[in-house]
């Protein structure tokens, strides 16, 4: 395991150097007159059309963790892992309903973060702070998991894995991280937007090749599905139950249809409340570009479905299955599969694709978290008169701090901890639904009722997730638990509790005539499609030069 394949290694390094160059060159791409504005550094000038937005959002939403964790879940548990496939289908009709409204109101008012919208809609700094806090909290472990994804690839490559010294062991990770941090600092959102083109090309390439080539080596799809079906039906010696499911069951407990559907629905509603997804959306130039991406992005979901099937290929390939069993880490299933199936040069391309696939979302996430901190904590509570230039500088530094925090997460804490936090992140971010999605359609909810509901949802979700146990772990065993005798996604239960409380408290607070705060948005602004970039940005469209 510790020997390094020179061809694979060289190709990864070469592609990494190219990406680094592109990351720095991106600062000059669509350059505006005044770059020291958050609309520029944090949102790439708010001028991306349908085409660039497709690459940016695709590169943003489908993270390295997706490429590693979804097949890992499929490898370990079978069909339940395909909830991620179902979720990337239903997310687009769901988002089609509310995302264009969010884009319009943010464009009209020059909002940079989702918490800016909450602030403007409800006139409440407290509620905006709660949403910013949730966003940052959910993003930290998510960025850490991008680094964990890079580590999984490096481990299989045999780079640094044999040393016991943490620093030497993670040196390649530190280097990748440092490069990422610097080009994000310099180029802002332009860097991941441009690198996303390389990422998507590499990933399309290796996924399509893998999907046509690997089955020929494994005796065809019939054999892959057959082996998987038999494998998941076999009884595990540890738990005394089947290893997994090949199709979600119609029972009430376990990997059931309800569990599958609630995981998919909860994740779909949550996806576009993640600050990095909103950052990618707000960078679009026109309302139509956002809508058209809901039409084109499902093409990216096809990739995810095929990647999920890699989990079954890993089951059907005895060498890969044995390698994974030896390390006891299902996250390594896809890297091992590629290493065993592909010639070493193509393994290099695939591994580089996964590593670059981690850098793009990590950059966007750190920008999104930095913007939240700058706009909704620093400017709001410490320096109300911060100039655009100061805000931009603040965000640049905050992006470094956020990434450093994520690096500590990835290196110092056990990986299972990061993964649990990431699961929890999904539960947490879902608790923004009543104030965010609700707020896009109605001002009926009272701000303090929303805050109370949010608090209840966060508390319930965290405690419920902590208490989930199975045969091998006593806490955080899964993101579903049993309610009224049925297995269901914790996030969905929590957001229902959240919503009920928000409704009840709204009725009470309205009856008590508690001040509701001022709403600076107007109904028609939710459907507006301004021709030009926001007026206060001196040069929003780089094409003018």
Beta carbon of residue 441, minimum distance to another protein (angstroms, whole number): 13
- Asked if 204 is part of the footprint of another protein (rule: CB under 8 A), the reply reads no
Q: 159, 194, 389: which is closest to 283 by C-alpha?
A: 194
Stretch that binds another protein, among 29-37, 193-201, 235-243, 248-256 (CB under 8 A): 248-256
Rounded to a whole number, what is the distance in angstroms from the first to the last CA of the chain? 53
- Asked if 14 is part of the footprint of another protein (rule: CB under 8 A), the reply reads no
Q: Which is nearer to another protein, 240 or 523 (CB)?
A: 523
Beta carbon of residue 386, minimum distance to another protein (angstroms, whole number): 18
Beta carbon of residue 492, minimum distance to another protein (angstroms, whole number): 11
Beta carbon of residue 266, minimum distance to another protein (angstroms, whole number): 11
Longest dimension (CA), the chain: 72
- Asked if 291 is part of the footprint of another protein (rule: CB under 8 A), the reply reads yes
Member of 3, 382, 442, 531 binding another protein (CB under 8 A): 531
Beta carbon of residue 539, minimum distance to another protein (angstroms, whole number): 16
- Under DSSP, the state recorded for 237 is T
Stretch that binds another protein, among 165-173, 314-322, 374-382, 524-532 (CB under 8 A): 524-532
Q: Which is nearer to another protein, 144 or 218 (CB)?
A: 218
Of 38-67, which residues contact another protein (CB under 8 A)? none
Q: Which is nearer to another protein, 36 or 90 (CB)?
A: 90
In contact, 280 and 103? CB cutoff 8 Å? no
- Interatomic CA distance for residues 52 and 194, integer angstroms: 8
Q: 136, 188, 195, 142: which is closest to 17 by C-alpha?
A: 195
Of 306-365, which residues contact another protein (CB under 8 A)? 309
Handedness of CA 71, 76, 78, 80 (dihedral sign): negative
Stretch that binds another protein, among 222-230, 375-383, 408-416, 488-496 (CB under 8 A): 222-230
- Interatomic CA distance for residues 44 and 289, integer angstroms: 15
Q: Which is nearer to another protein, 29 or 96 (CB)?
A: 96
Pairing mode, if any, of strands 486-489 and 480-483?
antiparallel
Beta carbon of residue 534, minimum distance to another protein (angstroms, whole number): 7
Q: Which is nearer to another protein, 101 or 403 (CB)?
A: 101
Q: Which is nearer to another protein, 305 or 503 (CB)?
A: 305
**Residue 91 to residues 152, 267, 294, 357, 499, Cα–Cα distance (Å):** 28, 8, 9, 21, 20
Stretch that binds another protein, among 1-9, 35-43, 215-223, 425-433 (CB under 8 A): 215-223
Stretch that binds another protein, among 77-85, 111-119, 178-186, 368-376 (CB under 8 A): 77-85
**Cα 375 → chain centroid:** 21
Of 92-151, which residues contact another protein (CB under 8 A)? 92-94, 96-97, 104, 108-110
Member of 8, 63, 301, 347 binding another protein (CB under 8 A): 301
Handedness of CA 503, 504, 508, 514 (dihedral sign): negative
Member of 23, 248, 311, 426 binding another protein (CB under 8 A): 248
- Asked if 430 is part of the footprint of another protein (rule: CB under 8 A), the reply reads no
Q: Which is nearer to another protein, 57 or 159 (CB)?
A: 57
Beta carbon of residue 529, minimum distance to another protein (angstroms, whole number): 6
Q: What does the per-residue mask of binding to another protein show for 251-290, with x meaning CB under 8 A?
A: ------xx-xx--xx-------------------------
- Asked if 417 is part of the footprint of another protein (rule: CB under 8 A), the reply reads no
Token pair recorded at residue 384: 């109300």
In contact, 151 and 5? CB cutoff 8 Å? no
**Residue 398 to residues 176, 347, 373, 392, Cα–Cα distance (Å):** 19, 35, 7, 10
- Interatomic CA distance for residues 119 and 529, integer angstroms: 21
Token pair recorded at residue 150: 């890079």
Member of 133, 296, 397, 417 binding another protein (CB under 8 A): 296
- Interatomic CA distance for residues 528 and 286, integer angstroms: 10
Helix (H, G, I), strand (E, B) or coil at 213: helix
DSSP string computed for 89-116:
HHHHHHHHHHHHHHHHHHHHHT--SHHH
How many residues touch another protein under the rule CB under 8 A: the total is 55
Beta carbon of residue 303, minimum distance to another protein (angstroms, whole number): 10
Beta carbon of residue 43, minimum distance to another protein (angstroms, whole number): 17
- Interatomic CA distance for residues 391 and 86, integer angstroms: 39
Beta carbon of residue 263, minimum distance to another protein (angstroms, whole number): 10
Q: Residues with Cβ < 8 Å from 519, sequence gap 6 or more? A: 120, 121, 122, 123, 443
Where does residue 168 rank: exposed (0-12), middle (13-18), buried (19+ CB within 10 A)? Answer: exposed
Q: Which residues bind another protein (CB under 8 A)?
A: 79, 82, 85-86, 89-90, 92-94, 96-97, 104, 108-110, 220-222, 224-225, 246-250, 257-258, 260-261, 264-265, 291-292, 294-296, 298-299, 301-302, 305, 309, 522-525, 527-532, 534-536
């Amino acid at each position: 395991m510790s020997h390094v394949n020179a061809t694979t290694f060289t190709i990864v390094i070469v592609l990494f150097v190219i990406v680094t160059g592109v990351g720095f060159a991106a600062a000059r791409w669509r350059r505006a007159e005044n770059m020291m504005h958050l609309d520029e550094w944090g949102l790439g000038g708010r001028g991306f059309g349908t085409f660039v937005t497709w690459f940016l959002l695709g590169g943003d939403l489908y993270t390295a963790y997706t490429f590693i964790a979804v097949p890992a879940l499929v490898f370990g548990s079978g069909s339940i892992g395909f909830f991620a496939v179902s979720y990337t289908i239903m997310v687009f009709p769901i988002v089609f309903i509310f995302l264009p409204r969010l884009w319009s109101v943010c464009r009209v008012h020059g909002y940079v973060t989702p918490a800016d919208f909450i602030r403007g809609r409800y006139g409440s700094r407290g509620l905006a702070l709660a949403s910013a806090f949730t966003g940052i909290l959910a993003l930290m472990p998510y960025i850490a998991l991008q680094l964990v994804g890079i580590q999984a690839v490096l481990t299989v490559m045999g780079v640094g894995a044999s040393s016991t010294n943490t620093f030497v062991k993670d040196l390649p990770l530190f280097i990748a991280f440092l490069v990422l941090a610097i080009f994000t600092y310099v180029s802002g959102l332009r860097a991941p937007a441009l690198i996303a083109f390389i990422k998507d090309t590499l990933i399309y390439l290796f996924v399509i090749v893998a999907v046509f080539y690997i089955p020929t080596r494994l005796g065809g799809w019939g054999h892959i599905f057959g082996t998987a079906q038999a494998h998941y039906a076999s009884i595990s010696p540890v738990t005394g139950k089947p290893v997994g499911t090949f199709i979600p069951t119609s029972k009430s407990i376990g990997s059931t249809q309800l569990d599958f559907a609630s995981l998919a629905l909860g994740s779909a509603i949550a996806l576009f409340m993640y600050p990095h997804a909103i950052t990618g959306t707000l960078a679009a130039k026109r309302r139509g570009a956002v809508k058209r991406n809901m039409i084109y992005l499902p093409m990216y979901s096809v990739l995810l479905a095929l990647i999920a099937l890699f989990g079954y290929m890993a089951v059907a390939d005895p060498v890969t299955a044995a390698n994974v069993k030896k390390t006891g880490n299902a996250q390594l299933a896809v890297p091992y599969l590629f290493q065993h199936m592909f010639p070493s040069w193509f393994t290099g391309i695939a591994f580089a694709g996964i590593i670059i696939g981690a850098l793009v979302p990590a950059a966007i996430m750190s920008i999104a978290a930095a913007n939240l901190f700058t706009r909704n904590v620093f400017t709001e509570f410490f320096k109300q008169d911060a100039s655009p230039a100061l805000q931009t500088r603040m965000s640049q530094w905050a992006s470094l701090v956020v990434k450093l925090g994520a690096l500590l997460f990835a290196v110092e804490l056990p990986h299972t901890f990061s993964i649990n936090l990431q699961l929890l992140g999904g539960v947490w971010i879902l608790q923004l639904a009543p104030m965010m999605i609700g707020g896009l359609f109605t001002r009926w909810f009272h701000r303090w009722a929303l805050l109370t509901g949010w608090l209840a949802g966060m508390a319930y979700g965290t405690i419920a997730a902590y208490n989930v146990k199975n045969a091998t772990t006593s806490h955080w065993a899964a993101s579903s638990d049993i309610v009224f005798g049925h297995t269901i996604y914790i996030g969905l239960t929590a957001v229902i509790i959240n919503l009920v409380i928000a409704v009840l408290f709204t009725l009470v607070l309205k009856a008590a005539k508690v001040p509701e705060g001022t709403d600076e948005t107007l109904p028609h602004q939710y459907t507006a499609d301004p021709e030009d970039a926001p007026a206060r940005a001196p040069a929003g469209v780089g094409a003018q030069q």
